[in-house]
Amino acid sequence: MNWIALIIAGIFEIGWPLGLKLSQQPENNKLSWIIFSIVCMSVSGGFLWYAQKSIPIGTAYAVWTGIGAVGTLLVGILFFQDSAGILRLLSALLIVVGIIGLKLF
């Protein structure tokens, strides 16, 4: 259950930079997206807190930030035309491999 909580925390970790990015778009309501970001930060932190009850802090933090970093990178590529260069994707793959290694070992 704690690993599921950690994955949920990582998914919400993607939400807050997304909300901040969307708050910068002229056609969007700035305040609504900033509030969305704050809610995502809070939910993410709450699930991380819960997950750390049985997952070592270093592992939990690395997985949490890794999911957030790779997820946000993918959102940027898919929806904001961020660069999808091979070295960026390879670097993200290394983060994923590190997360899997932390889970396995």
Question: Percent of the chain beyond pLDDT 70?
Answer: 100
Non-local CB neighbours of 22 within 8 Å, separated by 6+ positions: 28, 33, 36
CA 74: distance to chain centroid?
A: 10
With vertex at residue 8, the alpha carbon angle to CA 85 and CA 17, rounded to the nearest 5 degrees, is: 50
Is the CB of residue 13 less than 8 Å from the CB of residue 71? Answer: yes
Give yes or no for residue 93 having a pLDDT over 90: yes
Structure tokens at 38: 């704050």
| Mean pLDDT, residues 48-59 taken together | 96
Domain count, the chain: 1
Q: How confident is the model at residue 105 (pLDDT cuts 50, 70, 90)?
A: confident
H helical segments located in 1-105: 2-23, 30-51, 57-79, 86-104
Range of the domain at 7: 2-104
